Amino acid sequence: MSKFLLFITCVIAVFSCKKADLMPLPNYNQGNQAYGWSKCNRNGVAWEASANAGYMTYGATPDTNYMSIGYGTFDNDGILGESLGINNIPVQVGEYQVIESKEQRDILCIYSLVTDDQIDATYQIRKKKTSKVYIDTIDRQKKIVKGRYTLYFSGGDGLYERNVDFENGTFEARFVN
């Protein structure tokens, strides 16, 4: 019994130390938001980012049936600090589940932390939580898409928090292509 208690104590100590060594998620600026904006709660804290939309390109030509929405935050020098992208979204109003997949036409998403033009940490969609993006309106004349999202990630590559949750997200993004 005492060996078991010693083992449990060691396991708790190891996991406690590792968690204390993790860096908190950075707080960067939302950028100029010339092509759009996004707001949400990232791990329970208000988060704002710049946003834009674009048609997916499979081969050499953009496919106007599928889009991507990109979000970014920037450090004080205007250099990208966080990158969040949702890809392969049908260009139509609807609710779409975001999954972790390698298939070309599945709706995919990745979140990355960047320092000095180098990716520090990447996160993939968490399999045990349901991540969704909602396309509420598409104005093809003004080239603007509006919607909402809830995204759950895991990863961090050992540097940052293991899970990152983007909840109650809203966005408005202009197509740039």
Amino acid at 20: A
Which pLDDT score, from 0 to 100, does residue 119 have?
Answer: 79
Residue with tokens 């197509």: 175
Phi, psi for residue 68 in degrees, rounded to 5:
-125, 150
Question: What are the domain boundaries of the chain?
Answer: 26-174
Which pLDDT score, from 0 to 100, does residue 167 have?
Answer: 98
The number of beta carbons lying within 10 Å of the beta carbon of residue 18 is: 11
Which pLDDT score, from 0 to 100, does residue 142 have?
Answer: 96
Phi, psi for residue 12 in degrees, rounded to 5:
-60, -40
Which pLDDT score, from 0 to 100, does residue 45 have?
Answer: 95
Identify the segments of the chain with pLDDT beneath 50: 1-17
Output the CA torsion 24→44→132→32 (10° steps).
-70
